[in-house]
Structure 1
Amino acid sequence: MENLNKDLILREKLAIERTYMANQTTFLSFLRTSMYFFVAGLTIGNLLKTENTEIMIVIFFSISFILLFTGVVNFIVHHRWIKRNTQHVGNYKMEYIKDKDGDRF
Structure 2
Amino acid sequence: MSNQKGINKDLILRERLAIQRTILANQSTFLAFLRTSMYFLIAGLSLKNVLKIENSIIIEIVLFSVSGIILLIGLVNYFKHKKSILENKKNIGDYQLEYYE
Q: What percentage of residue pairs aligned between the two structures are identical?
A: 53
Cα separation, 2, equivalents of 1:5 and 1:77: 30
Runs ≥4 residues deviating over 4 A: none
2:23 is equivalent to residue 20 of structure 1: yes
Unmatched segments (≥5 aa) in structure 1: 94-105
**How far apart are residue 90 of structure 1 and its match?**
3.2
Cα separation, 2, equivalents of 1:75 and 1:33: 15
- Asked which structure has the greater RCO (Cα within 8 Å, sep 6+), the reply is 2
TM-score, L = length of structure 2: 0.86
Task: Give the corresponding residue for 2:37.
Answer: 34
2:78 is equivalent to residue 75 of structure 1: yes
- 3-state DSSP of counterpart to 1:23: helix
**How far apart are residue 78 of structure 1 and its match?**
0.5
Q: Could you say which structure has the larger radius of gyration?
A: 1
Task: Give the residue type in structure 2 aligned to 1:37.
Answer: F
2:60 is equivalent to residue 57 of structure 1: yes
Per residue, is there more helix in 1 or in 2? 2
2:7 aligned to 4, 7, 32, which one? Answer: 4
> Aligned-pair RMSD on alpha carbons?
1.2
**How far apart are residue 57 of structure 1 and its match?**
0.5
**How far apart are residue 9 of structure 1 and its match?**
0.6
Cα separation, 2, equivalents of 1:46 and 1:71: 29
Say how many residue pairs are matched.
Answer: 93
Task: Give the residue type in structure 2 aligned to 1:38.
Answer: L
Task: Give the corresponding residue for 1:47.
Answer: 50
Task: Give the residue type in structure 2 aligned to 1:35.
Answer: M
- 3-state DSSP of counterpart to 2:90: helix
1:13 and 1:90 in contact (8 A); partners too: no
